[in-house]
Amino acid sequence: MTLLETQNLTAHYGDFQALFGVDIRLEAGQTIAIIGANGAGKTTLMRSIAGVLRNAPGMIRYDGTAIGALPADEVMAMGVSMVPEGRKLFPSLSVEENLLVGTYGRKIVGHWSLDTVYRLFPILREKRHVPGTALSGGQQQMVAIGRALMSNPRVLLCDEISLGLAPVVIRDIYAALPEIQSSGASVIVVEQDIGQAMKVASTVYCMMEGRVTLSGAPGTLSRGAIHAAYFGAHA
């Protein structure tokens, strides 16, 4: 079953067009990856899906509903949650308060609660009264992921969760993915790390200059094709 898809999605910042007819599809239970160089449009795609950027209604369909024009709070209430690029924690709030922001005071029934997030990332329980910004980069990323999980999403959007982190920390963070998947969430990961994307996703979409330049199952994509789709034919 297709849970989420974009159809001929376009996006603009004022006069600047950032997306040109992007089509991606997420099946229920699937994890897909979006790869591409800086400026390719990956974050713009995530912001469009999450309702931070508004689009024409039919450009994004979720669970049978046209959501392209809905605002972020409504999209989130329907079960689409984003771990934003750069984590975006609230600096004056503790770890626990940052996690609770993810529920906006609503009680959303499901697997995820403070307790299950703390079991997923035990270090956060130890640091629950510490300001989020006093944590290491990896721990901050865990808070950002936990905050997104607190609303018990059916779709989790992860925008560059490994950016700037050491390999061992990236491994710890991606180790959480199986439990996130088994909680019932379908996942879109945005990654500049092609190897990481290939490891976790059943379908990979490569973007360049606002377009999808290549897509398919990781095993079907050659290094040469990925290189051309990622950097352009003349790179």
Ligand X SMILES: Nc1ncnc2c1ncn2[C@@H]1O[C@H](COP(=O)(O)OP(=O)(O)O)[C@@H](O)[C@H]1O
Please identify which residue in the block is written with the tokens 């990956």.
42
Residue among 95 and 204 whose Cβ is closer to ligand X: 204
Residue among 38 and 222 whose Cβ is closer to ligand X: 38
Q: Give CA separation, 134 vs 131, 140, 159, in Å.
A: 5, 9, 22
Residue among 109 and 235 whose Cβ is closer to ligand X: 235
Q: In the sheet that 65-66 helps form, which strands lie side by side, from edge to edge?
A: 16-27, 2-13, 60-62, 65-66
DSSP calls for 32-73: EEEE--TTSSHHHHHHHHHTSS---GGGEEETTEE-TT--HH
User: Site residues (CB under 6 A) for ligand X?
Assistant: 13, 16, 18, 36, 38-44
Residue among 6 and 43 whose Cβ is closer to ligand X: 43
Instruction: Please choose which of ligand X, Mg ion, none residue 31 contacts, taking the beta carbon within 5 to 8 angstroms, the exact cut-off set by kind.
Output: none
Is 43 an interacting residue with respect to Mg ion (CB under 5 A)? yes
Give the Cα separation of 181 and 176 in Å (integer): 9
In whole angstroms, the minimum distance from the beta carbon of 153 to ligand X comes to 20
Q: Let me know: does 117 contact 51? Beta carbons within 8 Å.
A: no
Is 162 an interacting residue with respect to Mg ion (CB under 5 A)? no
Residue number with the smallest Cβ distance to Mg ion: 43
In whole angstroms, the minimum distance from the beta carbon of 1 to ligand X comes to 28
Judged by CB under 5 A, the chain residues 69 through 98 that form the site for Mg ion are 85
In whole angstroms, the minimum distance from the beta carbon of 138 to ligand X comes to 21
Instruction: Please choose which of Mg ion, ligand X, none residue 193 contacts, taking the beta carbon within 5 to 8 angstroms, the exact cut-off set by kind.
Output: none
In whole angstroms, the minimum distance from the beta carbon of 24 to ligand X comes to 14
Q: Give CA separation, 57 vs 17, 42, 51, 67, 130, in Å.
A: 18, 20, 11, 5, 41
Q: Which residues bind Mg ion (CB under 5 A)?
A: 42-43, 85
